[in-house]
């Protein structure tokens, strides 16, 4: 028979002789699942939600992809918003910036909580996701900086 103390601890009641060698009475033993506190490798992980991704390899790969893209999007938002936090002209612009900042914070905390699962694959997916997001922003900035506008071209003109 399972009982709870209202605080989330599962307690079991021993059957038969009361669990204490025939002396009668009840003995309660806690059934607490300990959380991993050091890095480990394997697909058996709990990330963000209870029983997710579980023990299925496909769900574990989906979890890694989710963390990768979450970290990449968070990094892209972080780098693109850094230079654009100028004084808003209207209340609606301020509200939009606040919502974007809030979404970025939600993503950052979700990535942090996922890494706190101490699963090596999740950690690597988060780091590579952040690096990929950084690369995307910097590559786009470099491509934009290397473009020559068509109206500034001096080819074929008689001007020195």
Domain ranges of the chain: 1-32, 45-146
pTM exceeding the 0.75 threshold for the entire prediction: no
Q: What is the pLDDT of residues 22-54, one digit of tens each?
A: 555 667 666 666 777 888 888 888 888 888 888
pLDDT above 50: residue 7:
no
Beta-strand ranges (E) seen in 14-158 are 28-30, 45-46, 53-54
Does residue 11 carry a pLDDT above 60?
A: no
Choose between 97 and 84: higher pLDDT: 97
Instruction: Locate 93 and state its tokens.
Output: 């612009």
Return the closest-CA partner of residue 117 out of 38, 16, 1, 15.
38
């Amino acid at each position: 028979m399972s009982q709870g103390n209202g605080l989330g601890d599962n307690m079991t009641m021993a059957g038969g002789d009361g669990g204490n060698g025939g002396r009668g009475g009840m003995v309660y033993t806690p059934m607490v699942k300990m959380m991993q506190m050091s890095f480990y490798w394997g697909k058996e992980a709990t990330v963000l939600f209870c029983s997710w991704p579980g023990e299925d390899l496909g769900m574990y790969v989906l979890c890694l992809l989710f963390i990768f893209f979450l970290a990449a999007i968070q990094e892209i938002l972080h780098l693109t918003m850094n230079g654009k936090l100028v004084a808003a002209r209207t209340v609606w612009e301020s509200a939009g910036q606040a919502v974007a900042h809030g979404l970025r914070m939600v993503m950052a905390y979700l990535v942090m909580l996922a890494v706190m699962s101490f699963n090596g694959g999740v950690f690597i997916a988060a780091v590579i996701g952040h690096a990929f997001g950084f690369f995307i922003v910097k590559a786009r900035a470099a491509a934009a900086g290397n473009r020559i506008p068509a109206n500034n071209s001096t080819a074929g003109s008689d001007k020195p």
